[in-house]
Structures are given as structure tokens and as C-alpha cells.
Structure 1
Amino acid sequence: MTLPAPEHLFFVCGPTASGKSARALEIAAELNGEIVNADAFQLYRGLEVLTAAPPAEDREKCPHHLYGVLSPDQPIEAMAYLRLVVPVIGEILGRGKTPVITGGSGLYLKFLSHGPSPLPPGEPALRAELDAVPLEELVGRLQALDPLEAARTDLQNRRYVSRALEVCLLAGVPCSTLRDDWEAATAARASKLRGILISRPRPELHDRIARRTRQMLDGGAIEEVARLQNPAPGLEKAIGYGEIRRHLAGEIDRAECEALINAATRQYAKRQDTWFRRERWLKEDRHGI
């Protein structure tokens, strides 16, 4: 799969409730663009309130892509998202428009901006075999196969050592070679990427989160969750889903449900902000909406 040229894309990133959707609309208008979703949960239909998907009036102002394209029982992960989004971006570029990618799923954005990691996924049989080997033996095998990776790995951390050795065995080349080649390629790609990171003072962001949570619960999120049958495993991780399920089961009242969603959302927003700030190519946007 060939990734789209980075200079043709524009990314609007930021923590949840920071105003990404509205800012993406403004930028799409400036760049003759079309908006592309990079939020894992907004890919699902029937959960527009719970996932804070862009409202109909926003979609009328500008074409929006990959919102509500999956049924709630369909699993999705970053590589599957990449297979969905690359053809959509190709069509947008073919129309002479700029794809404006926005969403809060850091790994989805990372796969599109930099490409997926070349490291092979774990193999259960090999993992079980390595788990049965003493750490000292794992370290010796890693040092023999890939001394460079061994030198930069915490050799007291069994998980790190086992994973580095697993990569060497599965790929047939040193783990360090895969990592270094990929980092060089992604650095070259990052130099051509364009995008912003919406930044808001923490008290303001927390206030926006609280208002959005209240609007979500008042606006139909409880009914959406009540109608949901056999959700995909990943969908159950959506903030609000578990809390609303507990409320529907009578375990917590509406006020506690709201408080728990607010707390979980604030924690998630902090993790998102930390993730995005590692992407040095993103320019901080302090203006907000």
C-alpha cells in the first residue's frame, strides 16, 4: 500500500473536546479541502451522539468522509483503517482538493502520517517458547543476533528483551535494522507533513469536556447505548459506553454516570495531549475556536 504524499495532506489534531471538528471546517474552507475522519469511534454509525461526530449542519458545509461507515459489530484497528482511508484520500486528491484529516486516535493518525511500523506482530507460539526461557539466555541470544539492539535495550526488562528477540527471529533481520531504517524514512516524511495541534488551557478544556458530556447525555447517548447489540470489542472501550451501561443496569445514577464520564474524558485528553506533543512537526494552534 502506497501512502499519499505528505505534502498533500493537512492534519488537525488535539485532545477530545478541544474543537477539532470546527477548526477542521475552517481549514478546509481555506485550503479548498474535504474532511477525513481519523477517530476510531466516529467510524461507527448509530453512535453519533456518544462519539461526538460532526453534526449534519457541518457536513452540509463541506464533504466529510469515513463517518458512520461501520456497523457497531465490525471490529477495526489501525491497519484496517489505513486500508479504508488511503483510497478515500486518493479520490479527494483526484478532485484537486486537500484532504484535511482530523480525529483523536493517535495510532490511526500515526499510521497515515508516518506509515505502519515494519516490526512483525507477535506470534503466540514463539512468544510461549521465549516465555519458557530464562532471562539470561534471552539476553545472550539477543546479544548474538542483534548487539546494537541489545545495547540500547533495558536488559533487566524481560518483555523488552523478549520482544526484540522475537522481532529478530520473525523478520530474519536484526530488530535494530528495521527500527533504524523506519525511523530514517519517517523522519524524511515528517519534514514534509503539515498540521496543527489545538492547545487550550486545562481549565477551559475541562469546562468544554463537562459541557459536552452533559449535552451528550441529554442529547441521546443513553438511548444509543441502550439500542446497541453485540458491539465490536474495541467499541466497548469508547468513553461513556461502560458508564452508560452501568447506569442502564441501575448500578449508578445519572449524576455519577456523568461524573465518571467527565473524569475518564479528562484523563484521556491528557494522554492525547502527551501523545500529540511528541509529534514535533505539528504546529501549536493556541487560537482555538
Structure 2
Amino acid sequence: MFFVCGPTASGKSAHALKVAAEMGGEIVNADAFQLYRGAEVLTAAPSQDDQREVAHHLYGVLEPEDPVDAMAYLRMVVPVIEEIRSRGKQPVITGGSGLYLKFLSHGPSPLPPGEPGLRAELDALPLEELVTRLRVTDPVEAARTDLKNRRYVSRALEVCILAGVPCSSLRDDWEEATSKRAEKLRGVFLQRDREDLHSRIGQRTKAMLEGGAIEEVKSLHHAAPGLEKAIGLGEIRRLLAGEINRGTCEELINAATRQYAKRQETWFKREKWLVHSHLER
């Protein structure tokens, strides 16, 4: 299994095609938005020509109203990878959804999900009391937590209560297990100069608006929360409603995409097992 990661518009799809051809592999989607059908232009899904050149999996497999999260993605992708391997092929995983990739590469986090009732109970307490309780319950976690950040303190204490063991022990065991898994992982993190990446984002946005994204949004009457987060969806809806003009819509999409790309770069830089690959114009 080989991973091709990077920010939006960095050239992941083209690089994945090259890698798959060299390895005798098949491409598997790890982009949350490209799981949906009916939004191929909006989400910059691989072209039909690319999909004919090399087998692609998990593109356009969900209806727009179907909910999905990282755990649901994991349940979808594992059988696909196993089937590809059973034919002696190499799965080439590509996408920009960091959490989806993390679940696949390292497994889901052992930390329990939040519980609304407990969360409300903790939210009602002053920060000083939360800090005191965390220091008593899990002094190790308290020592490495920003105790001025209420959200961090509350979450650490919540984990201790729900799991029945110190949050620090769960995190440490998880770090040890994932570091061992990382030794066997292979993949690249594609990087471009900021000016180059921003230029490519602008070109993509223009092509998206001219290539059918507006018509796609017109047809999306119901969209799951995951798809609702797709960059361009809200901006094009405002365009269709007459709230903004075409130029403003394009500018807003470009700005949102640049911000998203920056967050993606920050995420992937933390994944030390990825080999950094700088692409030229």
C-alpha cells in the first residue's frame, strides 16, 4: 500500500496515476468529498479518461444525502484494499482528507467519543475546577496540556471519565502502537511553492466554474453534512441566489481553498513517515 498525500491542487491525482502505472497498482480514493456522485466537477474528481487509464475505487459511490465519517470510510475502504491485494495489485491511496488517511494508516483513535451529557456537566464547571480535577485524575496528562485552553482540559478529563483509565496512558499506548505501524508505511507528501500552488488553485477554480460546478450545485437539493463542507458549494449557492456576482464567487472560493490547503499542509507535515516531494511548476 502506497500513499500519495498533499494539499488540494498539488497534483495528487496525476502523481497517483504515475505511481500506479509504475507499481502495477490501482488507485483508491481518500478524499471525503470525492466519495459523492453528482459533484464530480465541484470536488475535482479524476476525469473519466484517467479512470479508464488505471482502475479507480471509491469515487462517486455515495448519494449526496448519504452521511459518512472517518470510521464509515474505514469500513468501506478496507474490503476494497483487500480485494485489490488478492489480485496481486498494489493499492495506491490518494486524497487530502487527513483524518480519513490517518484512520487507514494508523487505525482509529482509542479515545472514546464525546458524551453530550457529560460534556454539558463539564461545561458548567469553572476552568479552575476542571484543572484541579484533571491534575488529580491524570497528573501526566495535566502536565502536558495547555491548562489555559478549556477545550483541551475538558476533553482530557472527559476521556479519563469515559474510559475509566488515565487519558495519558491511552495516548502513550496509542503513540507507541502507531510509531511501530509507521515504520512499515510508504508514501509521499507533495509540496509546491506557495505562489505555484495558489496559481494552480486559481486555475482549478476557474475551470470548475466554467466546467459544470454551477449546474451540479443547482441539482444538489439535499446534501449530507460532509458534502455541505465542500468548498465552492456555499459560494455557488450564494451566486445562484443573487447575493454575489461571478467574480466575487470565484474570489471567495479561491480564498477558502487557499486556507484549506494551508491546513492540509500543516496536517501532513506532522506525519513524519511521509517522504516530502517538492514539485516544480
Normalising by the residue count of structure 1, what TM-score does the alignment of the two structures yield? Answer: 0.94
Aligned to 1:128: 120
> Contact conserved, 1:78 with 1:107, CA < 8 A, in 2?
yes
Aligned to 1:147: 139
Structure 1 position 275 matched with structure 2 position 267: yes
The alignment of Structure 1 onto Structure 2 pairs a total of residues equal to 281
Aligned to 1:263: 255
Aligned to 1:70: 62
**1:39-67 C-alpha deviation (Å, 9 max, x unpaired):** 00000001110000000000111110000
Written as runs of structure 1 = structure 2, the 5 A alignment for 1:143-222 is 143-222=135-214
Aligned to 1:94: 86
> Contact conserved, 1:198 with 1:288, CA < 8 A, in 2?
no
> Contact conserved, 1:23 with 1:288, CA < 8 A, in 2?
no
Counterpart secondary structure, 1:89:
helix
Offset of residue 230 of structure 1: 1.2
Read off the aligned partner of 2:117 and give its amino acid letter: A
- 1:60–1:201 CA distance, 2 compared to 1 (3 A): same
Read off the aligned partner of 2:269 and give its amino acid letter: R
Aligned to 1:229: 221
Taking the aligned partners of 2:158 and 2:101, their CA distance within structure 1 comes to 26
Aligned to 1:4: none
Runs of 4+ with deviation above 3 angstroms:
none
Taking the aligned partners of 2:212 and 2:225, their CA distance within structure 1 comes to 22
Identity of aligned residues (%): 74
Aligned to 2:244: 252
Offset of residue 210 of structure 1: 1.0
Counterpart secondary structure, 1:268:
helix
Gap runs ≥5 in structure 1? 1-8
Gap runs ≥5 in structure 2? none
Q: Identify the range of structure 1 (148-157 vs 58-67) with the bigger mean alpha-carbon deviation.
A: 148-157
Aligned to 1:116: 108
Read off the aligned partner of 2:90 and give its amino acid letter: T
Written as runs of structure 1 = structure 2, the 5 A alignment for 1:5-24 is 9-24=1-16
- 1:159–1:16 CA distance, 2 compared to 1 (3 A): same
Counterpart secondary structure, 1:100:
strand
Read off the aligned partner of 1:11 and give its amino acid letter: F
Counterpart secondary structure, 1:279:
coil
